[in-house]
Amino acid sequence: MRKTEVKRTTKETNISCSINLDGTGTSTIDTGIGFFDHMLEIFSHHSLIDLELKADGDKHVDLHHTIEDSGYVLAEAIIKALSDKKGIRRYGFFYVPMDECLSRCVIDFSGRPELVWKVDFSIKKIGEMDTELFEEFFKAFTNESKCNLHVENLYGKNNHHIIESCFKAFAKSIRVAVEIDNRIKDIIPSSKGLL
């Protein structure tokens, strides 16, 4: 079973995370940020990764550190569970429509971090969460997991729909990328022999 637990404690946050890559999408999330909890629950449900994440952060300052560090911890847990990455598909991509909008995510667990973020919002907050912090979450995830991640909203008007479709596309892309391909189950999916 590809399971792991990770903890991160700094002067700004205290976060614990446990995952099962081969789960059923059950989650227990508590960051103290309602909309962000909702996005992580959606991520778990659509990736089929069982996820428990508890975050205590300096929200009296703002939400930045809690959201950013949650991205680091989630990425660290996934990479730790992937171990040497033998047998994984490595690449994943998905389009997700949500009412009037359409978003796309493409991921490669390449060992080289690069985020391409093409998502615009027409408002500054969704719930209590600053919309600019979504990019910070994905940037932290990308840097810690050393993946190549492209997230793009192709069109849409409703800001809730836009970011929710992005998280769903992200989840489905990861689900594909971390799946074991039985044709290469004992092989690292790189011509270099290392990821």
Summarised one tens digit per residue, pLDDT across range 3-57 is 999 999 999 999 999 999 999 999 999 999 999 999 999 999 999 999 999 999 9
Task: Quote the CA–CA distance of 47 and 45 in Å, as a whole number.
Answer: 6
Residue 59, pLDDT above cutoff 90: yes
Name the maximum alpha-carbon separation found in the chain.
51
Question: Average of pLDDT values for 51-70?
Answer: 97
Strand 101-108 to 91-98 pairing: antiparallel
Alpha-carbon distances, residue 123 vs 68, 132, 133, 151, 189 (angstroms): 20, 10, 13, 19, 41
Would the pTM of this model clear 0.95, i.e. be above it? yes
- 159-194 in b/e form (b: 16+ CB < 10 A) is bbbbbbbbbbbbbbbbbbbbbeeeeeeeebbeeeee
Residues 6+ apart with CB under 8 A from 117: 135, 138, 139, 151, 152
Q: What is the pLDDT of residue 1?
A: 80
Q: What is the pLDDT of residue 66?
A: 98
Q: How far is CA 151 from the centre of its chain?
A: 11
Residue 193, pLDDT above cutoff 90: no
What architecture is the 3-184 domain classified under in CATH?
A: 2-Layer Sandwich (3.30)
Residue 106's H or E segment, with its range, is strand 101-108
**Tokens standing for 90?**
């490595």
**Tokens standing for 14?**
């205290």
Residue 120, pLDDT above cutoff 90: yes
